[in-house]
Structure 1
Amino acid sequence: MTTLFTIPITSTGGSFVCTTPEKDQNIYLLTFTSPPDNRLTTNFIEAFLLALDIIEHRYPKGVVITTSGIGKFFSNGLDLAAIASQPDFLDGYLWKLFRRFLTYPMPTIALLNGHAFAGGLMLAMFHDYRVQNPSRGFVCLNEIEFGVTLQAPMMSIFRQKTTPTTFRTLVLEGKRFPGPEALQAGIVDVVGGLEETLKFIKDRKLVLKPNSGIWGSMKEEMYRESLGILDSHSANLQWRDRVEEQKEEQSEKAKAAVEKWEKSQGKAKL
């Protein structure tokens, strides 16, 4: 491997390191290490975006593989406490990272060497392809377990890239998928490590695909729905507010109907 550049992650003492295999000069392996579990923080995202910019604007077109330098985790998702203290985190950072991958003008592959939970799995889904370790680590949306509602941009990519049954299982059941099950469910494209990833790239001739200059544009059309949702955060929040208001109104009407029924039956109010 030849090291092309390194970007520090100042908040954790970690880094992004871009390397390329000796025989595959147009394949860029971007390895991130941000202890303890590669949380998607502002510093992490800033470094990630800069790395993607450097590859696009300073190196020949090719394929970008992202992976973790921490064996146990690809990424453990968002730092909810940090998000609560940063009102601009979603619009200013997370959506930008998701959008960048969804429109990136080269093929992107997430090499999931360990767990990809919640936001970590979302990040992987915004890549073009996914390769998962067959014997270690799970992919999972576990928000249902700790009571955090997935916002529209987080939902849309799974709706577009997975089957309705897999989408339901991920969102409503929080199922943990090991590599072989994730492959069967269509969440990942192949199981393996770097060797299998390089073979996947070779078999599909992915290094050549961005040369025509329309790889990013084709994806913009493919994922137009998700892009529109990413770019309409305020409208998404307004829709959610309207839904919550309707739910409250319906709940009050339902309670009144139940009370009326209870009186008609001579039953005491619970």
Structure 2
Amino acid sequence: MSPIPPLFVLPITPAGCLTCTQPSARVYLLTFDSPPDNRMTPTFCTTLLLALDILDHRFPKGVVITTSGIQKFYSNGLDYDSAIKTKGFFEDYLYPLWRRLLTYPMPTVALIPGHAFAAGFMTAMMHDYRLMNPHRGYLCLNELDFGAPLTPPMASIFRQKVPNPNTFRTMILESKRYGALEALKEGLLDGLGDVGVVLDFVIEGRLVDRARSGVYGRLKQEMWRETVGLLEGFMQGEQRVRRDLEEGEKRKSEEMRRVEAWEAKTMTAKSKL
């Protein structure tokens, strides 16, 4: 029997592609393959966003599953140096994709075959559900390791979706790598397995019909109001970050003044002995 042709294929420049297949009625599988590790570049973000738009406006409502054709990685996150040098990267590329996923008018499932680090992990968190290969890969926020701050939406999605505040702390301040079993225990995942398991998950949850009433996306927008607001209000968030940095510098100057005053007082006292 000939293989079932994909519903559509979109290029991810310079050498990747995103393929949409339909493994079951009204279940759409988006498989991205952007070597070497599915970095979230501007073209990656715009291609995945276009695929979501095509499914929303040209196909019957159902369930959307995203996964990677590169088995070692779901996504290794941003190319950080490139991201901060690309004008408008966050507000024009990354955040529109995240907002679309977070408020998408159908159930979304991230099928994670391998590592999901930093922004790759965040992208998986923007889905409604996450299932992971139990034998390969880690979930990790490793911003601490390469010296990158979390922007307000990045922190917000974990604050809203991670049930245990101690897990939230450990993820960020220790850059802990969570294997699939531990991630499931900590509530970061909804299940373990492959595409077959995800299809069973979709059937058991009756997810295919969840979007039928037309309010699925609006319900999610209200559920995740904090993160949605931060994604939409990017400039206000950036202004807040700048204010925090400025206030931090002022506090640092005041702290140094107190230390220097203490040192001067100590030296004066010693000189009198």
**2:18 is aligned with what amino acid?**
F
In 2: Cα distance, 1:143 partner to 1:2 partner: 40
**Percent of residue pairs identical:** 50
Other-structure match for 1:17: 19
Residues 60-71 of structure 1 aligned to structure 2 (within 5 Å)? 60-71=60-71
SS of aligned partner of 1:210: coil
**1:15 is aligned with what amino acid?**
C
SS of aligned partner of 2:123: helix
Unaligned stretches of 5+ in structure 1? none
Other-structure match for 1:48: 48
**1:73 is aligned with what amino acid?**
F
In 2: Cα distance, 1:15 partner to 1:219 partner: 29
In 2: Cα distance, 1:231 partner to 1:49 partner: 16
Other-structure match for 2:77: 77
1:208-229 residue CA offsets vs partner (Å, 9 max, x unmatched)? 1001111101001100111111
**1:132 is aligned with what amino acid?**
M
Other-structure match for 2:226: 225
Residue 240 of structure 1 deviates from its aligned partner by 1.2
Please report the TM-score for the alignment, with normalisation by the length of structure 1: 0.95
Residues 80-95 of structure 1 aligned to structure 2 (within 5 Å)? 80-95=80-95
SS of aligned partner of 2:7: strand
1:4 and 2:1 aligned: no
Residue 86 of structure 1 deviates from its aligned partner by 1.1
1:2–1:20 Cα contact (<8 Å) kept: no
In 2: Cα distance, 1:194 partner to 1:125 partner: 18
Residue 95 of structure 1 deviates from its aligned partner by 0.3
Residue 164 of structure 1 deviates from its aligned partner by 1.3
SS of aligned partner of 1:67: strand
In 1: Cα distance, 2:247 partner to 2:82 partner: 31
In 1: Cα distance, 2:83 partner to 2:132 partner: 28
Other-structure match for 2:146: 146
Other-structure match for 1:209: 210
1:132–1:193 Cα contact (<8 Å) kept: yes
Other-structure match for 2:130: 130
Other-structure match for 1:239: 240
**1:35 is aligned with what amino acid?**
P
Other-structure match for 2:189: 188
Q: Which moved more, 1:257-266 or 1:232-241?
A: 257-266
Residue 265 of structure 1 deviates from its aligned partner by 2.1
**2:85 is aligned with what amino acid?**
S
SS of aligned partner of 1:61: coil
SS of aligned partner of 2:74: strand
1:138–1:177 Cα contact (<8 Å) kept: yes
Other-structure match for 2:166: 165
Number of equivalent positions: 265
SS of aligned partner of 2:189: coil
In 1: Cα distance, 2:242 partner to 2:41 partner: 26
**2:19 is aligned with what amino acid?**
V
Q: Aligned-pair RMSD on alpha carbons?
A: 1.2
Other-structure match for 1:250: 251
Unaligned stretches of 5+ in structure 2? none
Please report the TM-score for the alignment, with normalisation by the length of structure 2: 0.94
Residue 3 of structure 1 deviates from its aligned partner by 1.5
Q: Which moved more, 1:202-211 or 1:243-252?
A: 243-252
SS of aligned partner of 1:174: coil
Residue 2 of structure 1 deviates from its aligned partner by 4.7
